[in-house]
């Protein structure tokens, strides 16, 4: 069973940047596709981006294309989300997830989840 722990969230002004990290323990990290999702109170969890097990393929939500970049370091069991040009509407709790179904956007298709990290973008 994979355990995921996110870090790097915080408060940033609009236009600023943050880098989130998600480190895995247990399991075989390099076997899993990794995704980032976000959620605001009262709304469903929203797909942000995912990366294949090798890091060679990615899939982005239209809302973050050109601003966010996902990467992974399998030697460190860590996936990163570099977020640039942040907007107030990016404010949410960000979750990382691990799955075995490739580059999928549906949260239900991911097997393991972290506890989330808060990102707040002030205007």
Averaged in consecutive runs of 10 residues, what is the pLDDT profile of the chain (123 residues)?
96 98 92 97 97 97 98 97 98 98 97 98 97
Q: In this structure, are residues 54 and 70 in contact, taking their beta carbons and an 8 Å threshold? A: no
For CA atoms 8, 55, 91, 19, the dihedral sign is positive
Q: Are 102 and 52 in contact (CB under 8 A)?
A: yes
Q: Report pLDDT for 22.
A: 98
Cα 58 to Cα 53: distance, rounded to the nearest angstrom: 10
pLDDT of residue 26: 81
For position 1, what pLDDT does the model report? 86
User: Which of 103, 87, 82, 83 shows the shortest CA–CA distance to 15?
Assistant: 87
Q: Dihedral of the CA atoms 54, 115, 70, 84 (nearest 10)?
A: -170
**pLDDT score at 46:** 98
Sequence-ordered list of residues with C-beta below 8 angstroms from that of 82, at least 6 positions apart, any chain: 17, 19, 68, 69, 70, 71
């Amino acid at each position: 069973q994979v355990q995921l722990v996110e870090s790097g969230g915080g408060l940033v002004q609009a236009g600023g940047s943050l880098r989130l990290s998600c480190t895995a323990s247990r399991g075989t990290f390099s076997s899993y596709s990794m995704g980032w999702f976000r959620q605001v109170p009262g709304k469903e969890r929203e797909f942000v981006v995912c990366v294949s097990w090798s890091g060679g393929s990615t899939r982005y939500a239209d809302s973050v294309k050109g601003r966010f970049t996902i990467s992974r370091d399998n030697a460190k069991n860590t996936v990163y989300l570099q977020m640039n040009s942040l907007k107030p509407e990016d404010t949410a709790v960000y979750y990382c997830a691990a799955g075995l179904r490739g580059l999928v956007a549906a949260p239900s298709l991911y097997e393991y989840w972290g506890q989330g990290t808060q990102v707040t973008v002030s205007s």
